[in-house]
Amino acid sequence: MPETARVPIGALLDTWTSLPWEGGLQVEHLNDLEAVEVRTRNTLYHITIVSAQNGEVLVIGGRFFPTFTRARLNGCTMGGSLLKLRGVYPGFRLEFQIDRQVIVTSEIVRVTVVPAVAHGRGELVH
């Protein structure tokens, strides 16, 4: 009798290709120094984009980032081995990396790009 392998649904390519990929964003489509708020099930993260093309960010929020910390935003995952590179989408977990340490959040609930005036600059930057 052939062996049956159990694989988490998030690790299946068919699961990923069938997803709508709505309500989120791709970091590389943002501008450097733009800010994003990501509400997960457990935490509100404030993220400032340092390099959109490389996924370098400053992040604060939760127990792993009590102060602004420079990290790489790898993307989002469902807990399997697949990663939506530099993607931030509701229903997924956000993956950050600091040196060799990988930090995975609880599920994303909401993603919001923060207008420049919310940073206290007093005007929108184009």
pLDDT, tens digit, for every residue of 10-52? 555 566 555 666 789 999 999 999 999 999 999 999 999 999 9
Structural domain includes residue 11: no
Structure tokens at 63: 């127990």
**Which range of residues forms the domain containing residue 111?**
26-115
Q: Using 50, 70 and 90 to split pLDDT, how confident is the model at 4?
A: confident
* Residue 9: closest CA among 1, 19, 22: 19
Question: Which residue is associated with the tokens 């690790």?
Answer: 11
* Total of domains in the chain: 1
Residue 33 lies in a domain: yes
Note whether residue 105 is domain-resident.
Answer: yes
Give ∠ CA 49-117-85 in degrees, rounded to 5.
20
Phi, psi of 13 (to 5 degrees): -60, -35
70 is a domain residue: yes
Higher pLDDT, 9 or 31: 31
Q: With contact defined as beta carbons under 8 Å apart, do 104 and 94 qualify?
A: yes
Q: Tell whether 101 is covered by a domain.
A: yes
